[in-house]
Structure formats: C-alpha cells, structure tokens
Amino acid sequence: MGEAVNILAICGAAHKSRNTATMLRNAFDGAMSVSGASGETVYLYDLNFKGCVGCHSCKLLEEKKFARCAVRDGLTPVLAKAIDADVLLIGSPIYFSDITGETRSFLERYFFPGLTYNKDRVPVYPKRPKVGWVFTMNAPGEFYKDFFAGLVSMTSRMIGEAEYAIAYQTQQFEDYSKYAATAFDAEMVKRRHIEQFPRDCEAAFEMGRRLAERGRQPTLD
Ligand SMILES: Cc1cc2nc3c(=O)[nH]c(=O)nc-3n(C[C@H](O)[C@H](O)[C@H](O)COP(=O)(O)O)c2cc1C
C-alpha cells in the first residue's frame, strides 16, 4: 500500500512574481517535496468568476444540487479541485485590512456549499484538508494577528485544520523614491526584503511540507 497527497495552491494575489505568489510558491514546493505529492497552483486573477450569488441551490435537499455551487464560471473547475484536495494552500496580500476581493469571492463559493443550516453544523465535504494560509502585508505582523487568528479558526471549523505563514513590512516598490510613499522607511524595507523575506519563504516551505506530511492518504497500490 502506498501513500498520496493531493495539493492545491490558490493564489489570490494579482502578480505572479511578487511577495505573495513567491511565498505561496515556496509553500507549494514544500508540500510537493513530500513523497506521493501531486498538485497544481491556480491564479485567481487569471479567471473570470464572481463570489457567491446567494441562490441557495447548494442547500436544497436534492442529490444533484446539495453541497454543490450551481454557478458555472471560471471558478467551477477550481472548486471541484479544492473539494478533492488533501492540502489546500491559499495566498493573499492584505488589502485594506482583509484578504483580496478575489480570495474572498473564492472563499464564499468554497465555504458556503460545504456547510448547512442544520442544527449540528457538521461540514459536508467528504474530505477535511489541511489548510495553509499565506499572507503578506506592509504593516508590522502583529497588526493583523487577530484577523489571521479569526480566519484560521473559521477555516478550521468549516474546511479543515488550518495554520498560516506571513511576511510583513514587505517591499512594495523597487524604487520608493519614484512613488508618493514617504511614510515608508525604504532602507528598512529593502533590508527586510533581502534578509527577512527569504526566511519567511523558508517558513512557508516548511509549513507546506508539514501539512503535506499530515495530509497524506493511503492508496491501494
Ligand atoms: C489596494 C491595496 C491595499 C493594501 N492595503 C494594505 C493594508 O490594509 N495593510 C497592509 O499592511 N498592507 C496593505 N497593502 C500592501 C500589500 O498588502 C503588500 O505590499 C503585499 O505584500 C503585496 O503583495 P504582493 O507583493 O504579492 O502584491 C495594500 C496594497 C494594495 C495594492
């Protein structure tokens, strides 16, 4: 008997080579380093989709509708993959003290069909994946720790055991002198990008590896 682990990384950042996507790539590489791992990364900004439209089709007590999102758009195949994942890695920069709109829209479409309004509130998806969040932001890390804890706790309740990795006081521009951005200490940000960001990426790699180890499923072969 072997072991397999199905990894899905969801990138909720607009740019594929900046802070969030880079950290998420490290988390994904960490997860993929585990034996039996297979997976892919989906970039939400490449897709054409909307958040939950509140049609309530997923709450209908009909086999073909219950626990499925009835909206058909660019997110439809991604939702099927997320439901089948053993490890889900989700990356978002912090925009206005929250995750990006695209990440939020993904969560609405993923979370809502996976819960009922029944008294017991038992999650209905067949798997309970391990979830690793990746957040990057300009503010110091402790600024949003209650927000991260809240999101992680909601994810753990609705989807599966979750944790997070962060990079804070990230480098937003290469050359701060070209932008209206005097509030930033450009030297400090640059130094952190060179010295701290690689360590944050290592922590993300380690988180991915750890979650994939824990998410491994036995196979029959
Ligand atoms: C529209 C917008 C809103 C932002 N809001 C916040 C914020 O509320 N708090 C914060 O710490 N950083 C904020 N930032 C900064 C980003 O979170 C930070 O630079 C992040 O690392 C960017 O990720 P990226 O490099 O993957 O694009 C904001 C950036 C943008 C573009």
Confidence check: pLDDT of 221 > 90: no
Average per-residue pLDDT in the chain? 96
Residue 218: band (very low, low, confident or very high) from pLDDT cuts 50, 70, 90: confident
Tens digit of each residue's pLDDT (9 = 90 or more) over 37-72: 999 999 999 999 999 999 999 999 999 999 999 999
According to DSSP, the β-strands at 130-136 and 162-167 are parallel
Q: Which atom of ligand 1 is least distant from the CA of 167?
A: 21
Residue type at 130?
K
15 lines ligand 1 (CB under 6 A): yes
As a whole number, mean pLDDT of residues 127-139 equals: 97
Local structure of 8: helix, strand or coil:
strand
Confidence check: pLDDT of 220 > 80: no
Question: For residue 218, what are the β-bridge partners?
Answer: 3
155 Cα: distance to centroid of ligand 1 (angstroms) = 22
The CA-atom distances, in angstroms, between 178 and each of 88, 90, 173, 187, 211 are 38, 32, 9, 14, 41
Confidence check: pLDDT of 164 > 90: yes
Burial of 165 (0-12, 13-18, 19+ CB in 10 A): buried
103 Cα: distance to centroid of ligand 1 (angstroms) = 14
Instruction: Tell me the C-alpha distance between 27 and 196, whole Å.
Output: 16
**Which residues neighbour 62 within 8 Å (Cβ) at sequence distance 6 or greater?**
none
As a whole number, mean pLDDT of residues 11-35 equals: 98
171 lines ligand 1 (CB under 6 A): no
168 Cα: distance to centroid of ligand 1 (angstroms) = 10
186 Cα: distance to centroid of ligand 1 (angstroms) = 15
Instruction: Tell me the C-alpha distance between 155 and 118, whole Å.
Output: 18
* Protein residue whose Cα sits closest to atom 30 of ligand 1: 95
Domain of 146: which CATH number?
3.40.50.360
Q: Is the pTM of this model over 0.95?
A: yes
Residue 121: band (very low, low, confident or very high) from pLDDT cuts 50, 70, 90: confident
Question: Which range marks the domain in which residue 89 is found?
Answer: 2-219
Calculate what percentage of the chain has a pLDDT beyond 70.
99
Residue located via tokens 């499923």 = 217
Residue 1: band (very low, low, confident or very high) from pLDDT cuts 50, 70, 90: low
In the chain, the DSSP E strands lie at 2-11, 37-43, 87-93, 130-136, 162-167, 217-219
Total structural domains in the chain?
1
In 140-204, the DSSP E strands lie at 162-167
pLDDT of res. 195: 98
9 lines ligand 1 (CB under 6 A): no
Neighbours of 118 (CB within 10 A): 9
Confidence check: pLDDT of 141 > 90: no
Question: For residue 163, what are the β-bridge partners?
Answer: 132
Residue 192: band (very low, low, confident or very high) from pLDDT cuts 50, 70, 90: very high
Residue located via tokens 């110091």 = 140
Neighbours of 126 (CB within 10 A): 8
pLDDT of res. 217: 86
Calculate what percentage of the chain has a pLDDT beyond 90.
93
97 lines ligand 1 (CB under 6 A): yes
**Polymer length in residues for the chain:** 221
Q: How many CA atoms lie within 13 A of 112 on its CB side?
A: 20
